[in-house]
A and B are shown apart, each in its own frame.
Chain A
C-alpha cells in the first residue's frame, strides 16, 4: 500500500534563546492509506504538537511533512485553508460543534465550505449519519444532546467530506467508558468499512488498542512502535501496557 503521510525529521522548538524547549526532537515516520495509527505518550511528550503540525495548525521548526506527496510545511497561508478542507478531517476532545447550528447543519457546513453542490449535501449528510447512528438527532442543537452523541456528530462532520486523513485528538477524553467504547467502535468501523485513514492521539491504553499501529513518544522522540498485526485486541492491549510501564508513564492511566 502506498504511504499517504510522510513525516521527515520534524523538529519543533518553543521558547527563546536562553530557554529552548524541544517539543518534538527529530521525529520521522510514515502512514499508509487505510491505516488506523495511534500516537501515545505521557503529558508533555509532544503528541498534540505533532498532531497540530500534521494538521497545519502549527508550523515546524525544521523538517518536512508530506501528505499525499505534497509538502504541507511549504504551503502558503492561502493554500492551507484549501488544503485543510480538501484533505483533513478533525475530531477534538471538545467536539468543536457550532452551537448556533443543528447537528444536520454542522455536518452540512463542512460540505458547503468544500463547495459541494447543494442538491448533494442532504443526501451525503443523511448517508453519513446513518452509518454513525445519529440520524435521529439530526435536527437537534449540540447543547441538547449528550457528549457521546456530540462526538459522533464530530466524527460525521470529519468524515462527510471523505478526507484523505482524519486527525483525532483525545476523542474519548471527555466521554464515559460506554460512550468511549461506542466512539472507538465507530472510528474502527470508519477505518475498516469506509477505509478512512485515521491518526489518533491518546494517552489511554484502551483507546489505543483499537489502532492497527501505535507510536510511543517520549520527550519529543519516538520511543517505540507496536504493530497489532493478527493479534487480538486483548493481547495488543497487554503489549501496550507493557510498553507504557517501560515508558515510565505508569499504569495509572489504564482503565
Chain B
C-alpha cells in the first residue's frame, strides 16, 4: 500500500511540478554534456592549450551546481509547503513520522534518479552536438563517440548529489521536524504583511535606484582606467548595480500596494485591482524572489552578450592575428641576421621562403603623424606581400604607401590622405593618395607597425633612416606544429640570444614577439570555443532556473488561483476575459523581473561597446551578438511562459480543485 501511495504521489508530483522536473533533467543533461566536453580526448587534443576549456568548465560547474541547488532548495521547500496537509493526514491516521519521511524521500529520490538517468541520455546527445560544433570550428572531421567518460559521469553524479539529493534530504529533515498541529492547520496561516512606513520604504527604494544608477556611472568611469585597479572597481560597481537591482525589486510589491491604496483612479482601471492584488498578496516573498531572479538574469544576459562578442572578436581576429606562418620580432636593431633562427625552424619544418628585414623610424621630425611610426622598405614590403600570396606594389620615387589592417584608425588615415597627403622625410617631400592605402591583414600591432599602421617608403629613402627593429618572417611548406611557438621562443631566449632576457636593472627589457600561425589559429579557436561555450553553459542554466521558479510560483498555487478565478467568473467576468486576465497576470510575473535586467544589460553593453568596441577588428560586433543573446533568451523564456500559461489555464478551468 505504501508503495502504491508513493507511486501515486510521484505521478501527481510529475503532473503538478512537471516544469520543475523537466528543468532538473535539462540541468543534468547540460551539466553532463559540458563535463563530457571537458574530459573528451577528441576535443582536448584539438589545440595545445585546450586545457583551459576543461578548467573553465569545471569552475563553472561549481557555480551552476550552486545556482541549481538554490532552485532545488526553493522548489523543495515550496512543494513541502503545498503538501503539509497531506503529511498531517498521514500522521493523523497513525503513520509514524519516520515512515512519512521515508516515503517523501523515496518519492523524491526515485523521481531524482530517473531525472538523472534521462538527463545523462539527453546529455550524451547534446555532447555529440557540441563535439560536432567544436570539431567543425577546428575543421577537424567529426566522429561520433558515444561513451560515458568515467570522470564526467562521476562528477555529474557528485554535482547532482549536491544540487538535488542533499536538498531532498534537507526536505526530509524539514518534514520530520514539523509538528502535526502545524501540518494540519497550515492552510489557515497567512503570510504576515510587513509594510514599512512609506517614508522608510521610499528611502530604501531611492537608495536602491541610486545604487543602480551610481553603479552604472562608476562602471563607465572605471572601464576607461588602464591599470589593474579596473577589475577591482568593475567588480565593485557591478556589485552596486546588482544590490540596487535587488533592492528595487524587493520594494516593488510594497510600492504597488502603496500606489493601489493612494491612487484609486489607477487601481480601479480595467483589471488592475485584481492583478495588483495578486502580486501584493504575497508581499514579502514575491519581491525578494523577483530580486534574486533579476540578479540572475542580469548576470546571464550580460555574460552571454559580452561572451559571444569576445568569442566573435577571437574569430575575426584570428586571420589578422597571424597571417604569416612564422614571424619573429625583436625590438632592437643590433640583430644582424636571423640565419640561426632560420636554421632552427628549418630543422623542425621545411621553410619555403623567408624575409629577414628591419623596421625604420624617423628620429627627428615635428610631424606628429610620423613620430614613432614604423616604416618599411618597399622591397621588404613586396616580399612580405609575396609571403601572403598578394600582388607586389610599385610606386614612384616621391611616393609612399600606407598599410593599415585596423578598421578604427583607417578612417583617420583616409582623411589625412585626402587632405594632407604629403610628408616630409629629412627634407624630401613624399606624397600619397587614397589609392595607395592597403588594408590586407598584415600582422600589424605586433610585427609590422606597432600603432596599427605602417608607412612603406622607396628603398633609397629608407637607406638614410636608422633601423630600430629587427624582423623575420618565414613561410613553410606545410603547417608548422603548434609546439614550434614555445620551442622557438625558448631557443631564442636560452640559446641564441640569452642576453635579450638578462637586461641590466633600470633599463626596460627588449620587446620580443614570436608568432606561429598554427598556434595562433588554434589558440583563437580555443578562446572562441571556451568563452562561447562557457557563457552558454552558465546563461542557459540561469535562464532555466529563472523560468522554473516563475512557473512554479504560478502553477503550484493552483487551488488558490482557481478559487480566485472561479470567483471572478461568478462575479460576471466572461471566460474570454479570464483568458486575458490570466495572460496579463502571467505576463506581469514574467516581464517584471526581466525589465530592469534588460535595461541594465543594454546600458552595460553600450558602455563596453564605446570603450572596447574599437579593439574588435569588425564593426558592430557587440551589438550584433547582444541581439543574438537576447533572441536566445527570449526563446528559452518564451517556452517557459507558454508552458506556464497552458498549465495555468488547465488548472483554473478544471472542474473541481485538485488538492
Contact = CB atoms under 8 A, between A and B. Distances in A.
A108 B8 CA distance: 15
A213 to B, nearest CB: 25
A194 interface: no
Interface in A225-249: none
Q: Which of B4, B86, B96 has most chain A Cβ within 10 Å? A: B96
Interface in B631-659: 656-659
A96 B95 CA distance: 14
B89 interface: yes
Q: Which of B8, B85, B89, B656 has most chain A Cβ within 10 Å? A: B89
Interface residues of B, number: 26
Q: Is the interface of B mostly helix, strand, loop or mixed?
A: helix
A21 interface: no
Contacts of A157: 93
B4 A105 contact: yes
B368 to A, nearest CB: 81
B93 A110 contact: yes
A99 B11 CA distance: 12
B97 interface: yes
A82 interface: yes
Interface residues of A, number: 29
B90 to A, nearest CB: 8
B94 A113 contact: yes
A143 B94 contact: no
A22 interface: no
A93 to B, nearest CB: 11
Contact of A100 (B11, B92, B97, B180): B11
B60 interface: no
Contacts of B409: none
Contacts of A97: 89
A92 B11 CA distance: 26
Nearest to A102: B8
Given A57-B180, A58-B181, A96-B85, A81 B12 contact: no
Contact of A57 (B1, B9, B181, B659): B181
A123 interface: no
Contacts of A139: none
Contacts of B184: 57, 92, 96
A117 to B, nearest CB: 12
A75 interface: no
B91 interface: yes
B8 A112 contact: no
Contacts of A81: 91, 94-97
A85 B94 contact: yes
Nearest to A114: B94
Contact of A112 (B2, B12, B91, B181): B2
B5 interface: yes
A173 to B, nearest CB: 13
A95 to B, nearest CB: 9
A182 interface: no
A47 B594 CA distance: 50
A96 B86 CA distance: 8
A109 B93 contact: yes
A145 to B, nearest CB: 10
26 contacts: A52-B181, A55-B92, A57-B181, A57-B184, A81-B91, A81-B95, A81-B96, A81-B97, A84-B94, A85-B94, A92-B184, A98-B5, A99-B12, A100-B9, A100-B11, A100-B12, A101-B8, A105-B1, A105-B4, A108-B1, A109-B1, A109-B5, A109-B93, A110-B93, A112-B2, A114-B94
Given A82-B94, A82-B96, A84-B94, 10 more contacts: A55-B92, A57-B184, A85-B94, A96-B89, A98-B86, A98-B89, A105-B1, A105-B5, A110-B93, A113-B93
A-B pairs with the 10 shortest C-beta distances? A85-B94, A100-B8, A112-B1, A81-B96, A96-B89, A84-B94, A58-B181, A57-B181, A143-B656, A57-B180
